[in-house]
């Protein structure tokens, strides 16, 4: 996979595939987490390599944050990724992607 700096550098077909696959990741996360919506972000300001952030949003989020971008959360105190603790959700995401024909 070639690294591209942003979405607009892709040809139309590659762009369609990227956006479709990103939305499928969102579908799987909705299914397994019970989130009410997904926020998608492609920034690229700091790291000029196309990548997407896929954030589940939940009904029980604090009222003062519910309508704001996820960047308003206190990320300094958020739990760090832990492979053993997060194994179950990683496996569920992988299985959901596989069921939808995406291989990771």
Q: Which pLDDT score, from 0 to 100, does residue 48 have?
A: 86
- pLDDT score recorded for residue 21: 96
94 burial level (CB within 10 Å; 0-12, 13-18, 19+): middle
DSSP code of residue 55: E
Instruction: Spell out the per-residue pLDDT of the chain, length 104, in tens.
Output: 678 999 999 999 999 999 999 999 999 999 999 999 999 999 888 888 999 999 999 999 999 999 999 999 999 999 999 999 999 999 999 999 999 999 86
Q: Is 37 left (phi over 0), alpha (psi -120 to 50) or beta?
A: beta
Query: From residue 17, how far is each of 64, 79, 88 by CA, in Å?
Result: 35, 32, 27
Q: Is the pTM of this model over 0.85?
A: yes
Residue 81's CB is within 10 A of a number of other CB atoms, namely: 8
User: How many CA atoms are closer than 13 Å to the CA of 50, on its beta-carbon side?
Assistant: 15
List 40's β-bridge partners, or say none: 54
Hey, what domains does the chain have and what are their CATH numbers?
7-99 (3.30.428.10)
């Amino acid at each position: 996979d070639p690294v591209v700096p942003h979405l607009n550098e892709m040809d139309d077909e590659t762009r369609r595939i990227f956006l479709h696959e990103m939305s499928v990741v969102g579908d799987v996360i909705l299914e397994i987490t019970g989130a009410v919506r997904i926020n998608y972000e492609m920034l690229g300001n700091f790291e000029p390599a196309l990548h997407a952030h896929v954030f589940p949003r939940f009904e029980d989020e604090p009222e003062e944050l519910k309508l704001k971008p996820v960047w308003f959360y206190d990320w300094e105190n958020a739990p760090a990724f832990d492979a053993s603790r997060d194994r179950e959700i990683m496996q569920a995401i992988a299985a959901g992607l596989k069921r939808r024909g995406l291989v990771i």
